[in-house]
Amino acid sequence: MGYRKFKADHLFTGFGLADPDAVLVTTENGTVRAVIPSAEAGEDIEYHPGILSPGFINCHCHLELSHMKGSIPEKTGLIDFLLSVMRQRNTDPAAAARLKQAQPDEWILSAITTAEQTMTDYGIAAVGDVCNTTHTLRQKEEGNLHYHNFIETAGFLEDQAAGRFENSLNLFRTFTQAPRLPAGTHSVVPHAPYSVSSRLFGLIAHFEPNKLLTIHNQESEAENRFSVTGQGDFLRLYRAMGVDTSFFQGTGKRSLESFLPHFHRDQRLILVHNVATREEDLQFALKWQKEEAGFLREANARSSNLFFCLCPLANVYIGGLLPDLDLLIRSKVQVVIGTDSLASNHQLSILEEIKVLQRRFPQTTTASLLQWATANGARALQLDSVLGSFTAGKQPGVLLIDHLAEGKLTERSSVKRLAPAQRPF
């Protein structure tokens, strides 16, 4: 059997930087054999300037919104962003009629194909993808990338819960019955704390296949205000949607503390955005997970099933703040990275996401950023047996990131795929 031997200025394994002299040895298809000193690697070592990394994991995307690239105005704030997306996503009947003429399904499907191709080119191997429609099914059945499909459900009024959940179950069944998609890669998930009723949270939490969940969390301070008092900018959103929220007087608690207790304490959960997440929220979340009934879990932040997903370029696009990264690092929570959708981003590139984090938080090490983008993401999406690190037997893809300066990413850094990741089937 032939081998490939990769050497670069730096070699990131998924968990840290290897010795500068290390060589990555793979089979011809990219399955990792070992990371060894160059003196033991023999001939035919390929040298590349830059840093080698396993393939990226995109923990938060809405591939079905790819046709909305460039159509939503930037920096309007979250409420107006959400209203624009809903309008253009056919919840408004007049807009739907206009859009149907302008954007037949084939156009939506080809935007999805293009977006997936760019993710592949940017070195992404797996995607946690939020779904409200079947538009992405055809592309996913090609088996180019691993996906976990998060079938999204929402409904703030208690008496809507059963109907909304049933609708989502129908979509869930369509995905699970697609013959080629792997079993166990679909869940029914809540959209956001402010858009899901207690009853609907209950149905989600008790749905047996829901081993892995995700939710948009604390994307703005207005979300916390609405949670505590039932007041603030979110009333504008509900008014525009014709939803009467006057029955809701707030829980007296911030958003994360209000919704987390709906779930099992060991629920694997990817919390997305976390822009308005503060120290008290993290302390509550970690303490809550530890207090498992019956026995004292030896939980700490790193072994927790909670993952904090950052999509910084979507935050910039929408015009919000960035999450408090120093707080997340200090609290030792597990950080993962997502691109969000082309409705709120100019590209679906994990490298661009971590570049903006390194620029805005210069003390963050390249190894930390890459770990969030690879091994942590693979663990979050339950794909760490095949992806996320240069561990013998895995085929995570081999990426080369170039134009580093003193070990840090620069504006010019770009990514190239040297070897492919394993396909899902």
Give me the residues that bind Zn ion (CB under 5 A), please: 340
CB 310 within 8 A of CB 325: yes
User: Shortest distance, CB of residue 80 to Zn ion, whole angstroms?
Assistant: 16
Residue nearest to Zn ion (CB): 340
How many Cβ atoms sit within 10 Å of the Cβ of residue 29?
A: 12
Q: Which is nearer to Zn ion, 257 or 340 (CB)?
A: 340
Q: Which is nearer to Zn ion, 6 or 194 (CB)?
A: 194
97: CB partners within 8 A, 6+ apart = none
Q: How far is the CB of 277 from Zn ion (least distance, A)?
A: 16
107 burial level (CB within 10 Å; 0-12, 13-18, 19+): exposed
Separation CA 192–CA 91 (nearest Å)? 18
Which CB atom, from 221 or from 340, has the smaller least distance to Zn ion? 340
Identify which of residues 51 and 215 has a Cβ nearer to Zn ion in the complex.
215
Between residues 274 and 395, which has the closer beta carbon with respect to Zn ion? 274
State the DSSP H helix or E strand holding residue 150, giving kind and residue range, or none if neither: strand 146-153
**Where on the phi/psi map is residue 274: left (φ > 0), alpha (ψ -120 to 50), or beta?**
left
Closest to 113 (Cα-Cα) out of 87, 145, 86, 89: 145
Q: How far apart are CA 335 and CA 324, in angstroms?
A: 12
CB of 178 to Zn ion, least distance (A): 23
Nearer to Zn ion, 171 or 286 (CB): 171
Q: Give alpha helix (H) positions in 58-197.
A: 78-88, 93-102, 105-121, 137-140, 161-177
Q: How far is the CB of 214 from Zn ion (least distance, A)?
A: 9
Beta carbon of residue 3, minimum distance to Zn ion (angstroms, whole number)? 41
